[in-house]
Chains A and B, each alone.
Chain A
Amino acid sequence: MRLILKYKTLVLVALCQILSITLNGQSVSPPSVAVLDFDARGIPVYEVETLTERFRTEIANTGAIRLIDRKLLQKILEEQGLQQSGCTTDECAAEVGQLLGAQYIINGSIGKIGNSFTIDVKMVSVTTGAAERSKSVSYVGAIDGLLTEMEILAWEIVNLPIPNRLLLKRGGEASESKITLAVLDFDPRGISTLEAQTLTDRFASELNNTNQVNLVDRRSMNEVLEEQGFESEGCTSEECAAEVGALLGVQYMVNGAIGKIGNTFTIDAKMFSVSTGVAERTKSKTYAGPVDGLITEIELLAWDLMELTPPSRLTSRRRGTQQTALTPPRGKTRFGAFMRSTIFPGWGQFYSDRKLMGWVWLGSEVAVGTLAYTQFSAYQTSHDDYIDFQAQYRASADPTEIGALKQKSKSSHSDMMAANDQMTTMLYALGGIWAANVLHAVILGPKDFADRKSKSSIQLTYNRELKQPQLRWSIALD
């Protein structure tokens, strides 16, 4: 009795397991997938075959599928008189899949347009004949970079997260001695978002140039964040950045802010450990000068953050002035323009970045000055003649000669008077032009002063932290 009961129990358990498997409707083993050779469009077939093989290898590494061996695939297709390449339609893929006994077929194409490569891959269900997933990639670079792209596509087509090693491979050669790092867009304060992003990109590029980091590039970072349903915009807190860093699988995160106060720019960058959340390095720069000089400053900041000496190609490009915390920024002033124009006509205008007017004033002064000097030369000549004729007149004892010398003397004296009058007029004109130049320099002032004056002191801005619009009112103190 006991033996029969034990036997019945065993049978019941086995039946339950079979029922369980059947009710679940799925096999515990991954689906079988065959990868057909990708179609070549504009690149050699052998290169496409190499890339497809890399794809096969990596998709097998994902563990998400059971890959049908390529040789088996080839054999079966030959028996059926079919070829792998050219089978890009879903119907063709389904037909081949049925012959192979696969659940899914993956096919695709690799093409080249100009300097860009395109990869399109589809995963077709043999049962339904429909493409269940498709992925596309555009790539610019050397063709051997497509190997990494194929590896990444292998993970994407099976809907699995891309391993960091591949992301880093995409950004450059991985190195054990380098730290892994990602850069979040610097927060703009007084500059546009686009400018902040551009400067962030330049900062990231220069970080790469230090050869001390394995940098997760922006595209890869955004892809990962999008997949995770995460928005990096507005991620300014350290906690947020650490969360992003954990998602990306990097050791460090860099974030910061770029601000503008008057003519001065401030750049603040922070590098902190993802694992501890502690800011390990903080660097700041204050810069006053033309805005294009800011690019060089942010590149220099990248080296500063890595605590390295920046290369001379950057230090030689440095423009503007570096400010310390104790040195207030010195902009151009009306008084400066006034003093310069007082000393030298046109100098105040050059100081005020009004070069055309500077040349006008300077040219006028030079022209009138030249005329004045010409008259002075004529005066000198007439004066010398007069003195000479006077001496001869006084010394002469011949009335006829005396008369002639007197006439010459009078003529020279008249010429001298005329030249002196002309010169006086020119000098008054010089003085007038000089005074007008000083007034012009003072009234118009430096260009940036005029721009500041022309800007409204009331601004409508959006506060990201509070997520609300604000009306800001400011008064220029200079």
Chain B
Amino acid sequence: MTILFLLFIGCDIPEEIYDNPLDLDLNAEKGITPPALVFNPNEISANSGSNVTIQVFALEVNNVAGSHIQVSYDKNKLSLASVTLGELFNAAQDPLFFYENNPTSGVLDIYTSFLGDDTSVSGTGTLAYLVFSATAPGITNLQITSISELVDPDDNPIQLNGLGQGVVNAN
């Protein structure tokens, strides 16, 4: 009886948590459908003063030849440490990649483009890796702004059906 009682009290039922930011169903619930730009992870915790890495993900995009991603962040709690190119734009031809950070306003612009008319990429993948440093404790949001856009090889804008948000929780 004791053994069975122990078995009973040892049976916990873990809560179901499906929070992968690339989960199409989860994003659909938030009103985000492909093609979309999201953060991965969309929620991250860190100690104050430490760095966190957040990916900017393109979700099921098609025939992308260039992108302009604008991320707004809380300048009082986060400072940008670095930006690196993601794997999505790894193609036969290295893209043009640069970024501009305005720490005063807390806005980061990332530009990526293939030179020429032929090269484009499709699918789901990382556009850029953003490394922030948590400068103050607290919860801060990251937002991909509506100014962000993707273009095809003819420089036509590709409609985005969702722009994700991220949360950094600095202790």
Interface residues of A (CB under 8 A from B): 345, 369, 372-373, 376, 379, 383, 386-387, 390, 393-394, 396-399, 402-403, 406, 409-410, 413, 416-417, 420, 423-424, 427, 430, 434
Contacts and interface: CB of A to CB of B under 8 A. Distances in A.
Interface string B7-27: 110010110111110111100
A51 to B, nearest CB: 78
B1 interface: yes
A393 B20 contact: yes
Contacts, number: 66
Nearest to A372: B4
Nearest to A405: B20
B109 interface: no
A427 B8 contact: yes
B13 A402 contact: no
Nearest to A394: B20
Contacts of B4: 369, 372-373, 427, 430
Contacts of B57: 397
B152 to A, nearest CB: 21
A386 B14 contact: yes
B83 interface: no
A390 B13 CA distance: 14
Given A397-B22, A399-B59, A406-B18, 8 more contacts: A345-B1, A373-B7, A399-B22, A403-B25, A406-B20, A409-B18, A410-B16, A430-B1
B149 interface: no
Nearest to B12: A383
Nearest to A421: B13
Of B59, B124, B125, which is in contact with the most chain A CB atoms at under 10 Å from its CB?
B124
B22 A387 contact: no
B1 A399 contact: no
B60 interface: yes
Contacts of A434: 1
B40 interface: yes
B1 to A, nearest CB: 7
B13 A420 contact: yes
Nearest to A397: B22
Interface in B26-71: 34, 40, 57, 59-60
Contacts of A345: 1
Nearest to A410: B16
A156 to B, nearest CB: 76
A397 B16 contact: no
A397 B40 contact: yes
B20 A372 contact: no
A423 B22 contact: no
Contacts of B125: 397
Contacts of B11: 376, 379, 420, 423
Nearest to A431: B1
B22 A402 contact: yes
Contacts of A369: 4
Given A402-B23, A427-B4, A430-B4, A417 B13 contact: yes
A403 B24 CA distance: 7
9 closest Cβ contacts across the A-B interface?
A399-B24, A376-B7, A427-B8, A402-B23, A402-B20, A399-B22, A413-B16, A420-B11, A399-B124
Contacts of A409: 16, 18
